[in-house]
């Protein structure tokens, strides 16, 4: 998975050794050389391909027992957006980001979060039509509550923006302590997404008033959340652009990362879980 780096980025020792092969396949294939990490778990995936992935901790879902403070949520989102940005830079879309696929490292105080669960991952689309990226796919994959509108519509077009939408849902859940959307069907999800779009369009950052703990979110934080949750993909922030928002320049008041998000591991190795990308 792409790096979930902490404030001081380190040299990427493993990413440069991950080489795509067999171009033209539906999904990229990778071979990961020796990482020098004694905690890595070697695994044989297919003929001639070896993958090493770090042994890590539980999912973020198990740690969502209370709403996060704004500074805690900012620390988490900074890591996750960096991870998504690095992943997208490799030409890969995750397509199933949710708290269940975000791992929390061992409790050693370093605060690393790690995106995992690359089963539905796919290469970024190469076909362009009218400036939009298109990709043929089966019925939408991934958790419904984090599925972007363009996938729910079944328009068979999407790019990295679907991961950004999912991260917006994760951000709202961190702050509220509960999922942003609660609907059970694709049509109901589309309706709820359109309602949020209309509220953002007419009320701006005031759209999150009355949404429980989101009431406490500062105007800059609301701007980031609204940008991640733009209903139309071409209006949605990219992971890289989101990180440029002044909200992420604010100093967090915690002396250390939140206890529910402490982790370990190299920020580049732990953020590039290639196992499930290999068919």
96 noted as active-site residue? yes
Task: Name the active-site residue from 37, 75, 96, 273.
Answer: 96
Burial class (CB in 10 A: 0-12, 13-18, 19+), 37: middle
Q: How far from each other are the two terminal CA atoms of the chain, in whole angstroms?
A: 16
Virtual torsion, Cα 180, 190, 168, 109, nearest 10 deg:
50
Q: Which residues contact 210 (CB under 8 A, 6 or more apart)?
A: none
Report strand pairing: 128-129 vs 122-123: unpaired
Rounded distance, CA 103 to CA 158, Å? Answer: 25
Virtual torsion, Cα 266, 268, 271, 276, nearest 10 deg:
-110
Rounded distance, CA 213 to CA 167, Å? Answer: 18
Residue 240 neighbours by CB distance under 10 Å: 15
Note the residue count of the chain.
279
Would you name the residues annotated as active-site residues?
96
């Amino acid at each position: 998975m792409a790096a979930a780096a902490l404030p001081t980025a380190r040299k990427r020792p493993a990413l440069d050794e991950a080489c795509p092969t067999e171009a033209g396949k539906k999904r990229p294939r990778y071979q990961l050389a020796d990482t020098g990490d004694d905690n890595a778990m070697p695994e044989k995936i297919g003929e001639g391909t070896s993958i090493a992935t770090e042994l890590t901790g539980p999912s973020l879902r198990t740690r969502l027992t209370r709403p996060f403070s704004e500074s805690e949520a900012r620390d988490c989102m900074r890591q996750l957006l960096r991870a998504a940005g690095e992943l997208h830079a490799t030409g890969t879309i995750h397509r199933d980001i949710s708290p269940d696929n975000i791992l929390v490292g061992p409790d050693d105080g370093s605060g690393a979060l790690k995106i995992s669960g690359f089963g539905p991952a796919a290469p970024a689309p190469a076909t362009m039509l009218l400036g939009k990226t298109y990709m043929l796919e089966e019925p939408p994959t991934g958790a419904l509550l984090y599925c972007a509108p363009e996938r729910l519509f079944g328009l068979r077009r999407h790019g990295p923006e679907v991961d950004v939408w999912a991260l917006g849902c994760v951000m709202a859940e961190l702050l509220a302590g509960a999922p942003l959307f609660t609907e059970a069907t694709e049509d109901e999800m589309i309706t709820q997404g359109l309602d949020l779009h209309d509220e953002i369009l007419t009320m701006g950052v005031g759209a999150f008033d009355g949404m429980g703990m989101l009431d406490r979110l500062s105007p800059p934080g609301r701007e980031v959340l609204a940008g991640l949750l733009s209903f139309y993909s071409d209006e949605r922030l990219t992971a890289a652009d989101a990180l440029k928002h002044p909200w992420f320049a604010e100093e967090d008041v915690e002396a250390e990362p939140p206890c529910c998000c402490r982790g370990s591991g190299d920020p580049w190795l732990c953020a590039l879980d290639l196992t499930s990308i290999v068919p």
